[in-house]
Amino acid sequence: MAVAGPIARVLLDVPLAHLDRTFDYAVPDELGELAVAGARVRVRFAGRKVSGYILERAQESEHTGKLAALDSVVSAEPVLSPQIAQLARLVADHFAGTVADVLRLAIPPRQAKVEAETPTTFEPSLQPADFAHVWDLVDQNFLDALSSGPVVRAVATAPPGISTAELIAEAAHAIRTDLAHDQGRSVLIVVPDHRDVDVVTQALTQALPLSCVVALTADAGPAKRYRTWLSIRRGRARVVVGTRAAMFAPVHQPGLFVILDDGDDLHAEQHAPYPHVREVLAMRSMNENASFLVLGRIQTAEGQRLIRSRWAQEVGASREFIRASSPTIHTIGSDAELARDPGALSARLPSLALRIAREALSAGPVLVQVPRAGYLPVVSCQKCREVAHCHNCHGPLRIVQAGRAPVCGWCGTVRAQHTCSNCGSASLRAVRTGATRTAEELGRAFPNIKVITSGREGVIASLSSGPALVIATPGAEPIADGGYSAALLLDGDSLLHRSDLRAEEEALRRWMNAASLVRSSADVVIMADPTHRSVQALVRWDPVGFAASEFDERKAAHLPPTARVAALDGPPSAIDELIGQWQLPALAEVLGPVPIPDSRDDERVRLIVRVPLAQGTELAQQLKQVQGVRSARKASENVVVRIDPMNLI
């Protein structure tokens, strides 16, 4: 065994761009055995004590002067593995951030009592559950390729009638080649929210009845999260499912990385350097030589790019199977329906929707998807149609309950005597109707039917097969026993007309996720412009064709994922200073700066920089370098840099 060197290379927990490198420290003799690679330490830097991680022990240092010594070893537990350290550097460079910021996302805070606990003993089960072999209905060769050993990278679209949790469980079983002795490769699955964690974990424990299946989420509590994270790092948990906090989980011998529903914005980290789960897992797949699977009801434009670049293969069911298993989609623009109900195109609940709901209720629950929570989340002037805003902070007004005065959605001020700033009128009308108001309206239309709401005020995980109207916001739809007998997708045009690059893709994702919860051949009514391509993709159940056309449109417009884009938010003076310092790639396009829309801070603006994919690395390096210069000069105004953000507007 090689003797550890007297020098410790330390990554400081200091998120300043100009300090994003290692620093050498001497290792005192009394700390020699504790100061292992990956350990947490405290060191003196710039006259104060700061935390850090030992990246490695070395024999020599390039520093010519006398090295400062490590102040203390916080814990000898090697929490930073070489693989995660290398990944942190890749992620930091890709997203123009710092390694310190990445490690704050990757490594949970220490819990000393948890570290001192006796590790639980692994108790394998020798009787794995039987399978329904659902992958055979999607792609008969995928599992064989996954279990044969070579790396497989795929973007899979789950057809209606097949549970994504079952698909994940079978893929995990294909990777776990030796159940009896806990050998073989590990699996990491990242899902959007805690409800998906529960569903996928249940499917995994049925397919792999082992104590090595664990859930890792940020909301589990500090002690429980750290205990789970340690079991993963120590190799006792080999099948991990979690939310985006789990994308950096230090799994041993990874064999498969899975992301479920990659179009969900919950996969985008909200802390610097703002990485996306899909990109991080793709990096891990390449860096750690493991398979990679993107699985969802739709295919995103980013998934289409992976396929077109031949980095991943496309996996999906045949058109014959999709036609046989998909629900029947009804639009509101047919000649027969317009003859029956001339106001169908403008009505929020046309007679077609009410008729289908009434007939379906005799067979089971009916799902009603409403894009917005609340009562009347957006109101406007009755006379001039100007959206109502607060006179104090200019935030949007809303009505939270019948008979209540409007309230500002930003500052919470009650505007009982509100008057329109444009025309002076005091009358208001609804612009957007929320789930609570919808439940009230449907309760009057179906007086003898139980009405259930699921959304911001409380999410219901599942329900029985009895008759009920279930009003839910996207992502909060309960899973009905046996499936819903019908579904109504309300206010579709409000989703399509949002000021968002991904509005159409996001609308289709929400609709297909809801429609996949109904029974085979059941009725689904979509209240949106029937000629819109997103609606037509739903009618044909063709998410792959939609993704291809969406990708082509973005390519023509030079938008992500066919180009690299950086969004810079900050005060105008800071943005101007940054512009004066950078040297952008030759083909860079600078758009803006413009005020950030719907922002509470009128003093911040947004600048967009767009480059071809081939120059994306150069752009990230340049932005990181400029941020380093600003941090070294102790610039007082902060500029937030996001690479390929989910929302550019």
Q: Examine residue 357 and state whether it is found in any structural domain, yes or no.
A: yes
Q: Mean pLDDT, to the nearest integer, of 153-157?
A: 96
In total, how many domains does the chain have? 4
Q: What is the pLDDT of residue 350?
A: 82
| Residue 346 reports pLDDT greater than 60 | no
Residue 372: pLDDT band by 50, 70, 90 thresholds? confident
Domain-embedded: residue 546 = no
Q: What pLDDT was estimated at residue 432?
A: 62
Tokens of 256: 């498969």
> Minimal CA–CA distance to 150: which of 253, 255, 240?
255
CATH number of the domain bearing residue 500: 3.40.50.300
- On whether both 340 and 443 belong to a single domain, the answer is yes
Tell me how far apart the alpha carbons of residues 248 and 262 are, in angstroms, rounded to a whole number: 16
Which residues, in sequence order, are CB contacts of 593 under 8 Å at separation 6+?
A: 568, 572, 575, 605, 606, 607
Average of pLDDT values for 538-554?
Answer: 95
> Which residue, of 305, 321, 337, is where some domain finishes?
321
Calculate Rg over the CA atoms of the chain. 27
Domain presence at residue 545: no
Let me know if residue 91 belongs to a domain: no
Mean pLDDT of 357-380: 84
State yes or no: pLDDT of 180 exceeds 50.
no
What is the rounded average pLDDT of the residues 620-633?
A: 91
For the segment 366-395, the average pLDDT, to the nearest whole number, is 76
Q: Which helix (H) or strand (E) holds 226?
A: helix 222-233
Strands 366-369 and 213-216: what pairing?
A: unpaired
pLDDT at 2 over 70: no
Residue 129 has a pLDDT of: 52
Q: Quick one: 367 and 221 in the same domain? A: no
Find out whether 257 and 200 touch, Cβ atoms under 8 Å: no
574 belongs to a structural domain: yes
For the ranges 16-30, 435-449, 581-595, the maximum mean pLDDT occurs at 16-30
pLDDT of residue 259: 97
Which residue shows structure tokens 């990944």?
87
Is the pLDDT at 513 greater than 80? The verdict is yes
Average pLDDT over residues 134-162: 88
263 and 144 housed in the same domain = yes
Instruction: Note whether 145 and 286 are same-domain residues.
Output: yes
pLDDT value of residue 609: 94
What's the chain's length in residues?
Answer: 649
DSSP string, 303-361: HHHHHHTTSSEEEE--HHHHHHHSPEEE-S--HHHHHH-TTTTT-SS-HHHHHHHHHHT
What is the enclosing helix (H) or strand (E) of 620?
Answer: helix 616-632
Q: For the chain, give the mean pLDDT.
A: 87
Confidence label for 542 from pLDDT (cuts 50, 70 and 90): very high
Highest mean predicted confidence (pLDDT) among 167-176, 359-368, 399-408: 359-368
What local confidence, expressed as pLDDT, does residue 403 receive? 64
End-to-end CA distance of the chain: 56
* 146 lies in some domain: yes
Where is pLDDT greater, at 211 or 494? 494
pLDDT for the residue numbered 181: 40
Range of the domain at 49: 7-81+100-109
Tell me: do 333 and 316 sit in the same domain: no
Residue 88: inside a domain, yes or no?
Answer: no
d(C-alpha 609, C-alpha 89), whole Å: 23
Residue 126: pLDDT band (50, 70, 90) is very low
- The tokens of 381 are what? 């002037």
State the residue for tokens 């009801």.
297
* pLDDT tens, residue by residue, 26-48: 999 999 889 999 999 999 998 89
Q: Give the global pTM.
A: 0.90
The residues near 110 (Cβ < 8 Å, ≥ 6 apart) are 40, 74, 75, 77, 79, 226
Number of helices followed by number of strands (H, E) in the chain: 20, 28
Cβ atoms of 157 and 544 within 8 Å: the answer is yes
